Structure 1
Amino acid sequence: MKLRIALALAALLLTSCSTVVNGVSTDRVEAVAGKVPATCEIPAVVSAFATQVPGSKFVPTHWQPSPKTDLEAALNNQGIACTYGIQVAEIGGTILWASNSKNVWDERKHSWIDAGETPINLPGIEETAAYILQDGTSADEMHVWRINLLIRGVWIQVGASFLQNLDEALAIIKASIAAIDY
């Protein structure tokens, strides 16, 4: 009798750990979906920036986004924006992470294409989509390098003035992807 009760309790506990909707388990979806980091102080991201700009660290920033910008879209979609680099030297970059739960990716990608970003397949990364701006200039005529990627339901934007090509950026991109599991 005790064995039957123990088996029944075990079965009950095991079946309550997953959800089945229309015959499809949702366990895999939750395990695979990424989430926006809760903090900017992510050691692997800081380390990746320091590889390109020695002495880099997280630079706390009080954001005041302009309307209809990527920054505003990210912050309004459960996002976070983080700057890394050397503040006194004004060198570094910014990463945006945002949930794509409200389809912000499709809303923003037209502005990226209009700004000259082109589709790209990132080597060794299984992104849903990615757009790159390799040789742009900002409003103050500074060099701008930027990539937007969608992976596991999270929009990530990596932008920096010191990056010249994808090879230089890959470690930072990979660290930003790893951060959605942080």
Structure 2
Amino acid sequence: MIVVLIGYMASGKSSLGKVLAKRLNYNFIDLDDFIETKEKMPVKNIFDTKGEIYFRKVENLYLKELIYHVNDTVLSLGGGTPCYGNNMRTLLDTDDVKSIYLKASIPSLINRLKNEKIKRPLISHIKTNHELTEFIGKHLFERSPYYDQAHFKINTDNKSKEEIVEEIIKVLI
């Protein structure tokens, strides 16, 4: 089985994915890290030098490579991955893939992101919490129709990593 974690940036996909993989005795792969290794450059540089269209094409290619060739893996996707190139349909139509939407509220996301803006190119230009609220709200409005198609939804607000991982394991069994 491949457990695919989807959700907005800072929803916990990578940090929870590592804990979940350890609990399941699975491998853990972060798709952005995988892309960086394959392309031999950071995602930010791919966007800056080759553009978003190129990035979305290789993202789709590497997602399919992983989905069709790995087993016993927890895979963390980038926040936008489910929204492009029929990626969500690929996840839903592939046997042995279980997608999980880690759903965090806008206040939770703002709380997690407000001190990380410098590390997040997508929001590094945002100056105020009000602007951040507007940006995240708009993005979630656009992306929710994709995220909501996941096999399972887990609300992450006010829960520890361990509580969330337990919930995920329960829905997978």
TM category (shorter chain) comes to: under 0.3
Greater RCO structure (CA 8 Å; 6+ sep): 2
Calculate the TM-score normalised by the size of structure 2. Answer: 0.27
Q: Which has the higher strand share?
A: 1
Which protein is richer in helix relative to its size? 2
Q: Which one has a bigger Cα radius of gyration?
A: 1
